[in-house]
Structures are given as structure tokens and as C-alpha cells.
Amino acid sequence: MADELGKLLADATQEVGEQYIHLEIAEGDPVYRERVYCYELYHQMRLKWTLPFVLSGEVDKKGHPIISGLNMGLPIPDFLVHQPGDMAGNHAVIEVKSQSGVKGGAQKDFATLSNFRSKANYDRAIFLVYGMDVSNDIIEAVTSQGMELAKGTGIEFWVHAGPKLPAKLIKIFN
């Protein structure tokens, strides 16, 4: 199952066009907008979906009878791959950040992913960074943050460098 989600993620990211990665704006330079990217990624994933789970976007867990009691704050992950209504059917939680969003730090995302893995019994946690200029410096910064914040969590660090390129698994924080 893990390989199936990874292949689907790689195939879907390869279909996300430049206009969804680096949004043109009137009278200004293109910008990264995480919501625009996530909505297109969701669309591309749904077109290819064959997994025996439901793909949900931005599920607000506020007031959830189990999660609210787990001291996780108010998590709203970008994507859940799960069986709604069944805590035993939690397959994956995915957080997405643009290359510019990562520069401000990934602590909140790593905490969310770690909590979903350890407290809400998700099998997988994926941190996906996208952008046209994902440099080795950005990869090193995320890796070093992850080594401090995500060691032993099994969080997967993926990079989607641009249109027509599949996302790639960079590291698993074991």
C-alpha cells in the first residue's frame, strides 16, 4: 500500500502545471500560493485514485471526540488518506509547503505530522515541499529541522521541484 500511495503522489505531482505552482499575479512577480497548489494536487490525485481509502482535503479536526482529547491543538492537515468515521482506517496525513513557506520553518507541520502518526494512529506522514527553485540549501534546511523535530517519527520528506517532474522521496526520518 505504501508504494501505491507514493507512486500515485509522484504521478499526480507530475501533472501539476506551472500556473498552479508559481501563480502569475497582475502587475507583479509570480508567487507561491499553497492553496492553489493543493487544490490542483487534490484534483490530479483524484483523477488517478485507486486506493481503498478516501482522499480528504483540509479536514478540520476541531471538536473531534477522539482527536480533541489527544492534546494536538487544532490540526487542519492539508490532506488525509483515511476511512472517515474509523480511527483504524487512518492511512496517511500529508502537509504541503512551498519552498518559500519552508524558509519560515516547518516546526508546526512536523508537529502535526508527528502527532497524527503517534496519537491518531496514521500509518504514514508525508511532508511535501514544492517550488521551482527547491535548492540543496532548502533540502538541507528541511532535513536538519527534521532531524531535530521528526527523528524516529517515520515522517517522509518529499520534494516536487516543478512542472512535468514527479515528486521524489528525499528522506524518511527514522
Dump strand ranges (E) for 30-149: 54-57, 79-82, 90-98, 124-130
Distance from C-alpha of 169 to C-alpha of 137, rounded to nearest angstrom: 17
Distance of CA 72 to the CA centre of its chain: 18
- Close Cβ partners of 141 (under 8 Å, ≥ 6 residues apart): 102, 103
Phi, psi of 84 (to 5 degrees): -55, 135
Q: Which residues of the chain are under the pLDDT cut of 50?
A: 1
Distance in angstroms (rounded) separating the CA atoms of residues 93 and 126: 6
- The residue whose grid cell reads 490542483 is 40
Residues 79, 110 contacting (CB under 8 angstroms): no
Number of domains in the chain: 1
What pLDDT was estimated at residue 133?
Answer: 79
- Cα angle value 95/97/103 (rounded, 5°): 130
Residues in Cβ contact with 72 at an 8 Å cutoff, skipping those fewer than 6 apart: 61, 112, 115, 116, 119, 120
Question: What is the structure's pLDDT at 87?
Answer: 66
> Which amino acid is present at 148?
E
Range(s) of the domain holding residue 143: 2-173
Q: How far apart are CA 75 and CA 124, in angstroms?
A: 16
Pairing of strands 124-130, 155-160: parallel
pTM score of the predicted model: 0.90
Amino acid in the structure at residue 120? A
